[in-house]
Amino acid sequence: MLQEAEITITVQDEEQAQVQVAFERLMQAFKMPLTPADERIMRDAFDLARNAHIEQRRKSGEPYILHPIEVARICVEEIGLGPTAAACALLHDVVEDTSISLDEIREQFGDRVARIVEGLTKLDEMKDKESPQAENISKVLKAMLFDVRVVLIKMADRLHNLRTINSMAPSKQRKISAETSTIYAPLAHRLGLNAVKTEFQDICLKISHPEEYHDIAEQLAQTKRARKEYIDIFTEPLQKSLKEVDIDARITGRPKSIYSIWNKIRSKNVPFEDIYDLFAIRIIIKTPPGAEERLLCWHVYMIVTDQYKPIPERLKDWVTNPKANGYESLHTTVIGPEGRYVEVQIRSERMDEIAERGFAAHWKYKGAMTLSSRANTFDNWLAQVRETLETNDSASAVEFLADFQSELFAEGVHVFTPKGEMKVLPDGATALDFAFNIHSDVGCTCQAVKVNSKLVPIGYLLQNGDQVQVITNKNQKPSEDWLKIVRSSKAKTRIRAALKEEKRNQADLGKETLERKLKGYRVPVEENADMLAKHFGYPNRLEFLSAISLGQVDFAGLKSFKADGNKLVLIEIPRVAEVSESIAVDPATRLRGKVSDRTPQIIINDESGMYHAYTFATCCNPVQGDAIFAYITTNQGVKIHRMTCPNADYLLANYSYRVLKASWGNTVKSEFVANLLVTGIDIGPGVINQLTNCISALGLNIRSFSISADGGYFEGKIALIVSNTDQLNRTMMVLKEFEWVSNVMRQE
């Protein structure tokens, strides 16, 4: 017993030493020495968090306090935040996971720290909500309007959770990666946190598509030496030319992220070997923030294009017009040695820091004379988020998040008012979006629009440089069709609010009609409206009463009711006794009787799928052997989806409480449909014959086959009947062996 106690004490001492080292590493991450007051706040926050989490451990088994310490370090070292944000990061899980209250935080650290910690604390009692995740993200965004550090700390928290995600169960990993891909990565992009966004995307790809991730990583490793040699050859004359004109700059060459390469392979339908821009050359000019920054960028551009032939259509000037997330840089693609295309990015040190650290770096340079109103993109964006949230009372959290997400990755389109004022809207915005951008009332009363003095439909897609004039009519009202026209979250939110207000007015009229109908029963509307709405097939009282005002409800159905006090009850109709079966049949037995021997068995939440009315989702067509999950639909039972389904991220991120674990049970001779996309060189007659003969030789049936050819290139879409993923993968490998086939992909 004594020996066990000594071992326990030794482990505790080692862990305490590990915690102390982690905290000291955090303190050393600050670039500037802390004031005595800031150092005291840091140490007080650390002591409180360490004592509060003393009994808690992470899934990996390590002391829980290491997580908030590492989150705080990421905030300081990788995002560039200060001691107040670091203290809040140390405390971010204290209120949620321990007995410490928000009032205690407020008393010891003040109101600002308490409000930031409150914004980072998940909402309680969310089970009855449509989507707990969406509700929590909405809460974080609202807290962000008070202090943007809330969302930056949330980014650091998610980043550390992803870095240590291996200790989680695979199903939990997939849910977290889906939520990150659909919410956190776009938000990091919008905040200008490029390094964080890139790491989010790479880790999520590693979880959702592990084989493809490792294939690309391996091929990048194999070509690393050749890339370095090429970069040295490419940059040598540039270094010399820059030195000759006394421009102090550093040149780096870095590979594109694995996610970026994977995305190009998928979108362009080409193999890894055909991706020409696996790396980018970055020229970072060392110059103080000032008016000369842009001139120097263009000077360097001329040096690059004097040395290498540029491709004019690939010039992107984000120095003159920064991206919507504040990104400033000059991009061009040139033809380098050996005729290879090389992307070159030119920027100043200030631009580079803002590109990597986004919002945090923005505040560092906010007072610089170079920043005109055009560059205050973060302030403008926060103002848009604030306005959207303030008018969001009518929409659900899921609707708001869907609208909000659609704008996060979108770049801006620059248009002008008749007086020459520039407005930036998301790509794909319409003339109606412009009207709502001017003012909600202008949008709601928009009757027509003129673009460049010409009358156009309100659904006209805006182009850079358009001058837009809105014609209003006070009698005009928004319609449901407008939701299909607009792109911006502000417009969608305001239209929904107007439609709901209109519906409330209709419901008031419907209520008066229902009161007259129920007068003969002598029962009040309030106590019966919800029950009647359900009886007549409406989702809620508002929809039911609105339908009454529009004359869409047949009141003949009221004859089925009678009054019982203040409530209506259905009149019972006597039924003729039915002859029942003499032998009781167990429900599971009945289910088993319906399952064919050729039907693949699914294990759902560690029990036989026969207890669930499951079907295979047609959006991704799972094949036996695919990684899968089960999703409980509202009215179609349980659907089995592939983990790589195009809808997987959305379902896992917004409705994880409806997602169940699923795996394949018995292996049977079953038939599944798998869709392939085959591309290559059109060698003339015989392409179809060779492809179909090859598939037939493998013993497979073709459900459908379509092929098109143009300019020496062909694209074939083949739907095959296969038994499992092994058979499918072998088919893809065999088809790739044809010299004239460039790529074979499974379509999602």
Q: Which residues are catalytic?
A: 96-97
Q: Are 640 and 602 in contact (CB under 8 A)?
A: yes
Give the chain's largest Cα–Cα span: 102
Q: Which two tokens mark 37? A: 């007051």
Where residue 609 falls (left for φ over 0; alpha for ψ -120 to 50; beta otherwise) is alpha
d(CA 5, CA 426): 63
d(CA 207, CA 209): 6
If you write DSSP's letter for every residue of 65-88 in order, what string do you get? THHHHHHHHIIIIII---HHHHHH
d(CA 118, CA 115): 5
Q: Looking at this protein, which amino acid is placed at residue 177?
A: S
DSSP character for 256? P
Sign of CA dihedral 637, 643, 649, 653: positive
515 Cβ contact list (under 8 Å, min separation 6): 525
Q: Which two tokens mark 211? A: 């084989």
- The residue with tokens 């499918």 is 728
Host H or E run for residue 305 = helix 292-307
Q: How many CA atoms lie within 13 A of 4 on its CB side?
A: 1
- The residue with tokens 């000759």 is 244
Q: Which residues pair with 344 in a beta bridge?
A: 281, 332
Q: Is 206 helix (H, G, I), strand (E, B) or coil?
A: helix
Q: Which two tokens mark 542? A: 């508002």
Q: Label residue 218 exposed, middle or buried (CB < 10 Å: 0-12, 13-18, 19+).
A: exposed
DSSP character for 601? P
Number of helices and strands in the chain (H, E) = 30, 23
Q: Is 252 helix (H, G, I), strand (E, B) or coil?
A: strand
Q: Are 71 and 92 in contact (CB under 8 A)?
A: yes
Burial 149-186 (b: 16+ CB within 10 A, else e): bbbbbbbbbbbbbbebbeebeebebbbbbbbbbbbbbb
E runs forming strands in 376-428: 412-416, 422-426
Q: Give the length of the chain.
A: 748
- The residue with tokens 């940059």 is 235
Query: Are β-strands 446-451 and 468-472 bridged in parallel, bridged antiparallel, or unpaired?
Result: antiparallel
Q: Looking at this protein, which amino acid is placed at residue 115?
A: R
Of the candidates 83, 89, 69, 90, the residue with the CA atom closest to the CA atom of residue 26: 69
Q: How many CA atoms lie within 13 A of 101 on its CB side?
A: 3
